[in-house]
Structure formats: C-alpha cells, structure tokens
C-alpha cells in the first residue's frame, strides 16, 4: 500500500541543527522550513493518488475530465458536491461495483483487489476534483 499521509507536524529534515540558531531565529527558520515542506508536499500527494488510481486499475475505465467506460472524475465530483454522504456511498459502490447511476454499463467490484483503505483514499481524491 502506498503511504500517502505526510504529517506537517513531523520534525522537518530541512530544520538546521538547533545549536546553529538563537532561540528566536530557531522558531522562525523551523516555521519557514515546515511551511515549505508542506507546500512542496501537496502536488506530490496528488501525483501519488493519481499513481494509486493507475495501479488500482481505475484509469482503465476513468479519466480526469472525459468519459471513458465510466464517468470522468470531474463529473463525479460535480454530481456529489452537495452530498455529505457521498464518501460513504461511493466507497461502497467502488467496493461492490454496480450500474444505473451513469448509464447501463456496470462497474465491476474492485474489492478485495483494491484495499478498503486505498478505496477510501481514491474516493476522497475523486470528490476533490
């Protein structure tokens, strides 16, 4: 499984050794280093999720912004934008498969080939498109 969670609270490898810094500048530099690390982390996370979608076989039938066999991820995100139950409902649908929402073509079950944890990561990512 790909570990996608990168905590911005964790000690930064960019922080200079504390003995090099006065207490005041130590705070500042640490803050800046963490902020940079978090900024740098965001595009990497999206790329990891796209890779996970590819490795999980989702991109055979789905694309970001055009319909393939299944609906585009942007269309899915737009459809469920106001729906607070979307994450739970769609996670279940991806696990079990099914048809009838976007047409008569069915999505095959993706579970247990794709783990529940990865399905949750993928659904969150799709809903954020």
Taking every pair of Cα atoms in the chain, the longest distance, rounded to a whole number of angstroms, is 66
* Binding-residue pattern over the window 15 to 44 for ligand HEC, x denoting contact by CB under 6 A: ------------------------------
Query: Does 99 participate in binding ligand HEC (rule CB under 6 A)?
Result: yes
Cα distance between residue 108 and residue 93, in whole Å: 9
Contact call for residues 75 and 129 (beta carbons, < 8 A): no
Query: Does 76 participate in binding ligand HEC (rule CB under 6 A)?
Result: yes
Contact call for residues 4 and 45 (beta carbons, < 8 A): yes
Q: In this complex, which beta carbon is closest to ligand HEC, that of residue 14 or of residue 92? A: 92
Q: In this complex, which beta carbon is closest to ligand HEC, that of residue 18 or of residue 103? A: 103
Bridge partners, 62 (sequence order): 67
Q: How many CB atoms lie within 10 A of CB 62?
A: 21
Query: Does 70 participate in binding ligand HEC (rule CB under 6 A)?
Result: yes
User: Where do contacts with ligand HEC occur on this chain (CB under 6 A)?
Assistant: 56-58, 60-62, 69-71, 76, 90, 93-94, 98-103, 105, 107-108, 110, 114, 122-123, 126
């Amino acid at each position: 499984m790909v570990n996608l969670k990168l905590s911005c609270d964790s000690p930064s490898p960019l922080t200079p050794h504390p003995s090099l810094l006065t207490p005041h500048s130590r705070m500042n530099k640490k803050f800046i280093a963490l902020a940079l690390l978090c900024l740098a982390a965001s595009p990497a996370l999206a790329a990891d999720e796209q890779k996970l979608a590819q490795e999980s076989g989702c991109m055979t039938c789905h694309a970001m912004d055009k319909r393939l066999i299944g609906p585009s991820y942007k269309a899915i995100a737009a459809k469920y934008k106001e729906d607070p139950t979307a994450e739970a409902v769609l996670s279940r649908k991806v696990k079990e498969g099914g048809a009838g929402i976007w047409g008569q073509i069915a999505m095959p079950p993706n579970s247990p080939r794709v783990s529940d944890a990865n399905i949750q990561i993928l659904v969150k990512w799709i809903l954020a498109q």
